[in-house]
Amino acid sequence: MKLSEFKFDLPEALVAQHPTKNRDESRLMVLHRSTGKIEHRVFKDIIEYFEDGDVMVVNDTKVFPARLYGNKEKTGAQIEVFLLRELNKEIHLWDVLVDPARKIRVGNKLYFGESDMVAEVIDNTTSRGRTIKFLFDGSDEEFYKALHDLGETPIPKEFILRDTEAADKERYQTIYAKNTGAVAAPSAGLHFTREVMKRLEIKGVDMAPVTLHVGLGTFRPVDVEDLTKHKMDSENFVVPAGTATIVNRALDNKKRVCAIGTTSMRAMESSVSANARLKPTEGWTDRFIFPPYDFKIANCLLTNFHTPESTLMMMSAAFAGYDFLIEAYKLAIKEKYRFFSYGDAMLIL
């Protein structure tokens, strides 16, 4: 397929700038692939679509406060430093993005607030990318605490056009977040509340965790018309043995296996055995899913409404069927559904 097939006009007013007051009161559009029916519900109604023995596969990655602000030595110019991934724990070497990048060269030092944290630029990686080494005297625990205190919640400022607020620390995180390592939230999971999860548990629905540490590549624009030429950034993921067992039992019993978010789907599709079952895995995935695609594990997907030409929209189209998804997106715009990380949800059955 071509990139231009995923272009549509998204009114700016429909990109959610804040979450709904209550997580489970966002809207839920339900797509029935077998009949072509579309329903308009509220997220807490999701319970009605699942029964005993069904499985929801959730991504338990935890967002860390990846956006820091430092000052350049001598000039004092403010520089945004966005932490992407830790390259070497022993010497505090990190892969980062800097802004404005034109001011930052190899050898420059950055100072962070009133803290003792200093970083030196070691290498250029991309136009905005740098490798930096934090110069810090203290234990690992003290280092990570200092980073946590200095950093702010990394809401994606390309689409959420406001400053980070105190509430984002809690709301830009799923309630089941556990394993720190993401720089963006797995947004489909943001709608779950403890009450919804408890009611699903009472119904006999299993919650099975995978971990995929969402990177900024999730939002990286596709800049090639021929989608077969696009390369995804690699993301670290884990499929635990217990999750594989739960999912495979559900598949054997012809039950629903629902990927909660595109990141959970990517993790599962990157960990398929020869007999089309989920296998325990730990590693990296750069799998890019777009139509047409034969999904091996999940038979249900919960996702948000995504921005035009995004890889997340492409995966949703691969699962729903391209024409059905485009129809649903047109309806979503007409009905004023909210898009992006803090927006509404879509359940594809």
Is 234 among the domain residues? yes
Residue 46: predicted pLDDT:
98
Q: Which of 152, 185, 212 is the last residue of a domain?
A: 152
Q: Do 40 and 76 have their domain in common?
A: no
- In the predicted model, residues of the chain with pLDDT beneath 50 are none
Q: Do 125 and 197 have their domain in common?
A: no
Q: Do 313 and 179 have their domain in common?
A: yes
Q: Do 290 and 311 have their domain in common?
A: yes
Q: Do 130 and 209 have their domain in common?
A: no
Q: Do 50 and 72 have their domain in common?
A: no
Q: Which of 152, 185, 204 is the last residue of a domain?
A: 152
Is 160 among the domain residues? no
For residue 8, the domain's CATH number is 3.40.1780.10
Domain tally for the chain? 2
Q: Do 144 and 224 have their domain in common?
A: no
Q: Do 123 and 178 have their domain in common?
A: no
Is 44 among the domain residues? yes
Q: With helix as H, strand as E and coil as C, how does the chain read?
A: CEHHHHCCCCCHHHECCCCCCCHHHCEEEEECCCCCCEEEEEHHHHHHHCCCCCEEEEECEEECCCEEEEEECCCCCEEEEEEEEEEECCCCEEEEEEECHHHCCCCCEEECCCCCCEEEEEEECCCCEEEEEEECCCCHHHHHHHHHHHCECCCCCCCCCCCCCCCHHHHCCCCCCCEEEECCCCHHHHHCCHHHHHHHHHHCCEEEEEEECCCHHHHCCCCCCEHHHCCCCCEEEEECHHHHHHHHHHHHCCCCEEEECHHHHHHHHCCECCCCCECCEEEEECCCCCCCCCCCCCCEEEEECCCCCCHHHHHHHHHHCHHHHHHHHHHHHHCCCCECCCCCEEEEC
Is 159 among the domain residues? no
Is 273 among the domain residues? yes
Is 165 among the domain residues? no
Domain coverage including residue 57: 3-63+170-348
Q: Which of 119, 152, 185 is the last residue of a domain?
A: 152
For residue 104, the domain's CATH number is 2.40.10.240
Residue 5: predicted pLDDT:
98
Residue 220: predicted pLDDT:
81
Q: Do 38 and 8 have their domain in common?
A: yes
Q: Do 202 and 296 have their domain in common?
A: yes
Q: Do 263 and 191 have their domain in common?
A: yes
Is 97 among the domain residues? yes
Residue 176: predicted pLDDT:
98
Q: Do 32 and 112 have their domain in common?
A: no
The pTM for the full model equals 0.94
Residue 216: predicted pLDDT:
81
Is 164 among the domain residues? no
